[in-house]
A and B are shown apart, each in its own frame.
Chain A
Amino acid sequence: MNAKFLGAVGTFAVAALLAGPAAADKTKIDFWFGNSGDIAKRVQEQCERFNASQADYEVVCTSQGTYDASLQNTIAAFRAGQQPTIAQVSDAGTLDIMLSGAYYPANKLMTDMGYTVDWKDYFSGIASYYATSKGEMYSFPFNSSTALLYWNKDAFAKIGKDHAPATWEEAAADFKALKAAGYACPLGFNISRDEVWQLGEQFMAVHGEPVATKKNGYEGLDAELTFNKGKWVQFVKDLKGWYDNGEAAIKSKETGQTFVEAFANGDCQVILTSVGDHGNIGRTAKEGMNWDVAMLPVYEGTQRKSSFVGGASLWVLTGKSDAEYKGAAAFFDFIAKPEEALTWSTVTGYIPVRNSGFEYLNEQGFYGKAPYKGRELAISSLTASPADDAAPHGIRLGGLLQIRQEISNGLQAIFIKNEDVQASLDTAADRGNQILRKFEQTYSGKTLP
């Protein structure tokens, strides 16, 4: 039995060796990513377009299911010496790979392979999220999004309004009016680990409030969390007030319906979520429902700042051959084309990452057409403040996912167990700081690029 099995394996191995040279006229490179479902299909299509566009390289794109799984598999493969050439890493994993030395910096790769990239062409908010403290790009922004406010126009018409709230004070009045008009869920939200970023990180971004010291960690691994000391505390108190008054409701997979589904069904009238959901809501919204998007509200008297970019970027890993790196560079050059930006933004809700792509989309009249109208607000939101603004342009904290979990636990204690807002957020910040210190110690002796 065993001998037979080994024999079969041997035969295959020999066959593979023999077949090897014949198929080697194209250089194959692996690209692992974490999107699933419809987005994964769109990534595959992009890969196929690249493969059809030239004869030298073949990119093999493999979905690993989720960002976390993709990162985990990439790390495991890297440690075993079997890593893909290109790996997608989400915002939460950026710092770990940046400190690992396991990558071929994107800017160096493109120069070495003879491509000139106009790095200034990237939207400043997007570029600075992934850039080093010196502004160098080590990875390529890929699927990019940011949070927007989605509102149900029909419901707002019932309370005599034709525009979305621009401030949280206005929003509070709207929620009250919607409740009085008989709506059970004026604001739908969730406080699980994966859904606190739009309530927390994005809130602090548009208010220009720091999440942590050292410019949210960009200037050193010794940053400390400060989200428990600013305007956000007031926002959590307000949100809790709306929740207690029945003007906001928690909607999650656990309750039976996510807030995005609840909005699409017309059950919730306002939600905050990624522009990446724009396409999905457009396809699933209840027949005849009128809805639109707006930038996240800010408190009165606040100067609006740029929101943070969400999504992931593409990293090139070390330990590959020159030919494979040439293939990777060709792939990056291909997906940076404005035509690709148009196709990508049409089939997904993601936004173009470069000015040239955005302008091309505008020229094509993309943002004027019905299903895509409103998505340009994501760009306005990401570029609300100038590139050289003093406010942080992103978050660069170690163990970000664990920190989000602590924030989520703190919020759940507030909303579900009625614990004190300030005390719970202090606990979350304390525990988050322990995570940061441990991270700092893990990478002791390394400096943030």
Chain B
Amino acid sequence: MEKRATFSSTTIGLLFAAPMLVLIFVFFYWPSGQALYWAFTLEQPWGGGNTWVGLQNFRQLLMDPYYWGAISRSMVFGLGATSIAMGVALLLALFTDREMRGHKAYRSIFIWPYAIAAPALGLAFRFILAPEAGFLSLINQIWPGLWNPALDGTDAMIAVIVAFSWKYIGYNFIFFLSALQSIPRSLIEAAAMDGSGPMRRMWDIQLPLLTPTLFFLLVINITESFQDSFGIVDIMTQGGPARATELMVYKIYFDGFKGLDYSGAAAQSIILMGLVVLLTIVQFRFVERRVHYK
């Protein structure tokens, strides 16, 4: 007789899922829960105890005009960095897909920046963009005082946006390129035979078929620009000059890790998390409608 082991499908399903669930709990829900709890207390850094203060941390933050400044700067940074990182990556991917000269080299080179740690990247860009000693000091020799991220807030913001975008261009590029290459050649060839030029083919065929990738990268880039920028800011500007690059995530990093204000940082994390969730919902609600999945 054939032996057959039978399991209830729920038990075995849970058993298989258990390791992953444990990991998610330990590395995601537990810390998030801790942060949520700290946000409503005043936590002593050395662990000597805490006091419940309700919404006080949030109230203080939301009544602080400088905190609202950090929120709007984060928006500017997120939108700026995402448009540059995605725009340039898309352009490069379209070129590479058309097999411009050297496309094979681009394919492997462009992913490198993504592998560079943010602080190292910040260090490199700080040097490149330094107004007196960097490569861009040449500009200041022609037009004195034109470029000075050390003393000009706008220049500093441009500098951190450029550094951040540079890192994500390679990441986006890989996704765009693979999406482009999965578009059936026959469609493009048919369009070409019908007499449409490269620009028209990009606009009418490639871009519409890319929308799922575009949407995915939009969500990822916006989220990352809100969360992954503190290393670059810390090395390049320390949030200055005069708060010009004080982004929400940098303030969390500084208040929590340097200032030992765990509760204030936790409350800011909750606000940042809420904002990112909100932005993602907005994107799914309004942008995803225009996405054509196959």
Contacts and interface: CB of A to CB of B under 8 A. Distances in A.
Nearest to B42: A442
Given A254-B130, A442-B44, A443-B44, A93 B51 contact: no
B133 A401 contact: no
B238 A255 contact: no
How large, as a class, is the contact surface on chain A?
35 or more
B27 to A, nearest CB: 15
Contact of B51 (A97, A100, A257, A441): A441
B51 A417 contact: no
Contacts of A71: 260
A100 B240 contact: no
A101 B49 CA distance: 11
Report whether over half of chain A's contact residues are helix, strand or loop; otherwise say mixed: helix
Is the contact region of chain B dominated by helix, strand, or loop, or is it mixed? Answer: loop
Contacts of A75: 45-47, 260
A408 B243 CA distance: 10
Given A256-B133, A401-B259, A102 B48 contact: yes
Contacts of A72: 257-258
A417 B242 contact: yes
B255 interface: yes
Contact of B255 (A100, A402, A434): A402
A79 B43 CA distance: 12
A193 interface: yes
B160 to A, nearest CB: 11
A252 interface: yes
Contacts of A431: 66
Interface string B225-262: 00000000000111111110000000000110111110
A255 B131 contact: yes
Interface string A64-102: 000010011001001100000000000001001101111
Contact of A409 (B149, B151, B242): B242
A193 B238 contact: yes
A412 interface: yes
Interface string B120-147: 0000001100111110010000000000
B150 A100 contact: no
A250 B130 CA distance: 13
Given A252-B150, A442-B44, A443-B44, A399 B242 contact: no
A418 to B, nearest CB: 10
B260 A399 contact: yes
A44 interface: no
A99 B238 contact: no
Contacts of B259: 399, 401-402, 405, 435
Interface residues of B, number: 44
Interface string A247-259: 0001011111100
A441 B261 CA distance: 12
A289 to B, nearest CB: 19
Nearest to B263: A442
B78 interface: no
A221 to B, nearest CB: 13
A98 to B, nearest CB: 10
B170 interface: no
B34 to A, nearest CB: 11
Interface in A192-243: 192-193
A408 B134 CA distance: 25
A49 interface: no
A446 B50 CA distance: 12
Nearest to B132: A256
A101 B131 contact: no
B48 A100 contact: yes
B108 interface: no
B254 A405 contact: yes
Interface string B144-169: 00001111110010000000000000
Nearest to A403: B259
Interface centre among B60, B127, B258, B264 (most CB of A within 10 A): B258
A373 interface: no
Given A254-B237, A255-B132, A442-B42, A96 B242 contact: no
Interface in A422-449: 431, 434-435, 438, 441-444, 446
The 4 closest A-B pairs by CB, nearest first: A256-B133, A100-B46, A256-B130, A254-B150
21 contacts: A68-B258, A72-B258, A75-B46, A96-B45, A102-B46, A250-B151, A252-B150, A254-B150, A254-B237, A255-B132, A255-B133, A255-B151, A256-B127, A257-B133, A399-B261, A402-B254, A402-B255, A412-B243, A435-B259, A438-B42, A438-B60
Given A79-B47, A100-B45, A399-B260, 17 more contacts: A72-B258, A75-B260, A79-B46, A93-B260, A96-B45, A97-B46, A100-B48, A192-B238, A193-B238, A402-B258, A405-B254, A409-B240, A412-B243, A416-B242, A417-B153, A434-B60, A435-B259
